[in-house]
Structure 1
Amino acid sequence: MKWIDGTNAIGKDGKIEKQWQAVVSKLLQTSIFALLIIRFGTQFYPEMIAEPKYLSWSSFAWSALFFAVIFFQRIQYYFAWTLADAICNMSGLGFNGYDSKGRARWDLVSNVDIIAVELATSLKETVDSWNCCTMYWLRRVAYDRTPQRYRIVATYMLSAVWHGFFLGYYITFLTGALFTVAARTVRRCVRHHFQGTLFMRRLYNLITFITTKIALAYATFPFVTLHLNPGLFIYKRLYFSLHILALLAIFVLPIILPPESRKQDKSRLSPTKTSNDDDDVKKLQ
């Protein structure tokens, strides 16, 4: 009703906030994405990763091609979602208050945080910033309603069914569930060893950034090819290496590097215990 009567975007001074700056910015972004798709979209198609011509390349060159292909697949989603966001803003939808500097935010219906996805240092950050509106729905109908032991797998499998019935979806989402559990385990076992100095924290962030990008490309390849064979072919060629590393992280790493207890993690992150601090820690975990 607020959108219908025009009161959904009333600002702090009692006037309706203008959306045109946000709209122009998003339209400029979509123009850049469109140019990239037109120029490079047909050159970097997913199936090329499994073609003999490119498999004969050196490991470094082939890996670079792999990352480029997955990146240009993401560009297509950035284009569609940012354009849809701009259209919603033009119609008056999307006002979300103000940021810390007092600037109007028009991101209430934004479906992707591009900077957060590209600079994410964990799979969780990537997932939380990708297809955001669907993620809110998945959290409410699946994650929050499923017993804790099964909630990750249940949420990923519901997402796979929601996407459709191509087998590539199921390979990707099962792999994503495995990687999510592995990433949580690694964080609990390793992260606290890197918190002593600023240099160590930055080193940890760099390592997790690189690892996240590798895991993302590896996991999403079957999704973008849709079918069973291309994904399994590449996984076999890579000896299911990341699947094996993820299983080792879940079952072996805690034996070698015992995880920090949740109580210790909370006390280290927030010496003064408040309800807000506890909520922030839960989000981090």
Structure 2
Amino acid sequence: MFLDPYFDQAGKVMEMPPDHLKIVFSIFMTYPYAYLYNRLPNNPNIKHLYSIVLTCVTMLWFHRIYEGFAHIIISSIITLVVTKYYKDKRMPWVNFVLLMIHMSISHIQRQRQGHLGDDQFDHTGPQMVLVIKLTSFAFNVFDATQPSEKLTDYNKTMMVREFPSLIEYYGWVLFFGGFIAGPANEYMDYKRFVTMEVFRDANGKIVRPSATKATLKLFAQGLFFILILATVAPHFSYFECLKPWYLEMPFWKRFLFIQAAGFSSRVKYYAVWLLAEGACVLCGLGFNGYDKDGKARWNRVSNIRPFTYETGESIKVLLESWNMRTNVWLKNYVYLRVSKGKPGFGATVATFATSALWHGFHPGYYLTFVSGSLVQNVAKKLRRLVRPFFFTPDLKHPLPTKRIYDLYGYIASQSSINMIAGPFLVLELNGSLRVWKSVYFYVHVAVFVIEGLFAAGLGKKLKEVQKTRAEKAGVQLQEIKPRDDKVIVSEVGVEFADEGGVRVGKKKLQ
């Protein structure tokens, strides 16, 4: 391709792989694509065809990913055939398994070629996004055949009552907004957007609010993180932790370096996800109704909240703010489908396994996910058993000491995630363990000590103290049972929002 020499030269100057520059360029190009998209005739078929042509040109001509693009088409054909012709209650699960196997083959092929992480762009990234879309679609088609009482409100909103035409189906599959790196979008969201139904007001008129401000905000944030990615991030990498100069530093400097490496590793995700979301918003796909003040909301396909993440004071907040569209998928199409209204260990394991397999087979992924689930479990216990002591006995008002708890929560949560995320980037087993060893496995040691204290009776003692404290204040504490409608699903585990409040204070009956 005639542009390749320019990307090669720019890569040398900026010390970045040309592939990475081409990905950024492709995402930037979705903005003029979106601008033109908004000026197409209000004909869904023209819009479908526009996306199909753009994505084909991008993958086949610009990136020259021929075999990989064939894999993407094969995945889409699998779902098309299974959902249209296999009329059985097992249909969505058959589709799910076939797609996961196909994607696993792609992951294994990439791994056997010696690629680590995103060192070279290929079809596996878009295929991962597509798996989210296609597995969701199969369940949506199946839901249209089920009694309403069996479905959640979310299921009812996304069910597919009318099977799409071929051009409509591939217009959605190959929609240029978010195709390369996400965000994934549901078929019914796409259909309502492309037909303009999402903008229909209470009077039946189609009124599309301006997306300019929301788009510029996302675009500016994306540029900000690209600037950091190009200037600061290269100096703080987990791979630097494998070099002799790093190991020669005192522990406190290594600890601080790990924190900087964690932030630097997130920057590329911030940049790509925010820019991709901005293009979707510019098209109109991000519209999510109006808030109580009548202002348009553009967060329907939000995938990341950088500020919330970087200021998060608990593991729960961090996980809720990261890769949000994947979390929506894991919740609605894995956990809730397996649990069937009965929260349990089996559904949690199935969710965790799906997330791990979806990412691939590098040992680093599993080191990060397993460690993340252990940290999440400990954080959940601490929040349930320690946090109430920083509130009034009725749990309604925070005490002045709550600020100390929040500060501790911020430091503990951020430093835990920054350490356990190392293998997610390094991927190779020995290198991952060396990164952790360089800081003495401080997260795992903390988890072991805290779990040991709970096993020795600390948890029981804290519950007794809580109860005594409440009784002295004339308050009765009630345990809240987990509820599926309050489930919080992330890439490393499952927990319930109910446990955030732990218990509810109620006045004793006189």
Q: TM-score range by the shorter chain?
A: 0.7 to 0.9
Measure how far apart 1:107 and its partner are. 0.6
Measure how far apart 1:70 and its partner are. 1.1
Structure 1 residue ranges (4+ consecutive) displaced by more than 6 angstroms after TM superposition:
267-271
Runs of 5+ consecutive residues of structure 1 not aligned to the other structure: none
**Which structure has the bigger radius of gyration?**
2
Measure how far apart 1:173 and its partner are. 0.3
Greater shift after overlay, 133-142 or 105-114? 133-142
Q: Distance in 2 between matches of 1:182 and 1:235?
A: 19
Q: Distance in 2 between matches of 1:140 and 1:248?
A: 35
Measure how far apart 1:257 and its partner are. 4.0
SS in structure 2 at match of 1:222:
helix
**Counterpart for residue 256 of structure 1:** 458
**Counterpart for residue 189 of structure 1:** 385
Q: Given the alignment, which residue of 375, 381, 392 partners 1:179?
A: 375
How much identity, in percent, do the aligned residues show?
29
Runs of 5+ consecutive residues of structure 2 not aligned to the other structure: 1-190, 393-397, 487-495, 503-510
1:6 pairs with 2:202: no
Measure how far apart 1:94 and its partner are. 1.0
Structure 1: which amino acid aligns with 2:317?
Answer: E
Q: Distance in 1 between matches of 2:360 and 2:476?
A: 41
Change (3 A) 1:151 1:121: farther
Structure 2: which amino acid aligns with 1:9?
Answer: F
**Counterpart for residue 155 of structure 1:** 351
Q: Distance in 2 between matches of 1:67 and 1:54?
A: 14
User: So what's the TM-score if we normalise by structure 1?
Assistant: 0.86
Deviations 1:176-201 (A, max 9, x none): 11111111111222111222453211
SS in structure 1 at match of 2:198:
coil
Q: Distance in 1 between matches of 2:399 and 2:452?
A: 30
Q: Distance in 1 between matches of 2:274 and 2:216?
A: 11
1:201 pairs with 2:402: yes
1:29 pairs with 2:221: yes
Q: Distance in 2 between matches of 1:79 and 1:142?
A: 28
Q: Distance in 2 between matches of 1:119 and 1:239?
A: 25
Q: Distance in 2 between matches of 1:2 and 1:189?
A: 45
Residues 121 and 205, structure 1, Cα contact 8 Å, conserved in 2: yes
User: So what's the TM-score if we normalise by structure 2?
Assistant: 0.50
Q: Distance in 2 between matches of 1:186 and 1:94?
A: 36
Change (3 A) 1:68 1:226: same
The count of corresponding residues between Structure 1 and Structure 2 is 279
Measure how far apart 1:74 and its partner are. 0.5
Q: Distance in 1 between matches of 2:383 and 2:315?
A: 11
Deviations 1:190-249 (A, max 9, x none): 111222453211211111111000110111011011111122113234443322321332
Change (3 A) 1:93 1:205: same
Query: What RMSD in Å do the two structures reach over aligned CA positions?
Result: 3.0
Q: Given the alignment, which residue of 226, 235, 254 partners 1:43?
A: 235
Change (3 A) 1:87 1:56: same
Structure 1: which amino acid aligns with 2:274?
Answer: T
Change (3 A) 1:62 1:240: closer
Structure 1: which amino acid aligns with 2:195?
Answer: D
Structure 1: which amino acid aligns with 2:447?
Answer: A
Structure 1: which amino acid aligns with 2:334?
Answer: A
Structure 2: which amino acid aligns with 1:217?
Answer: N
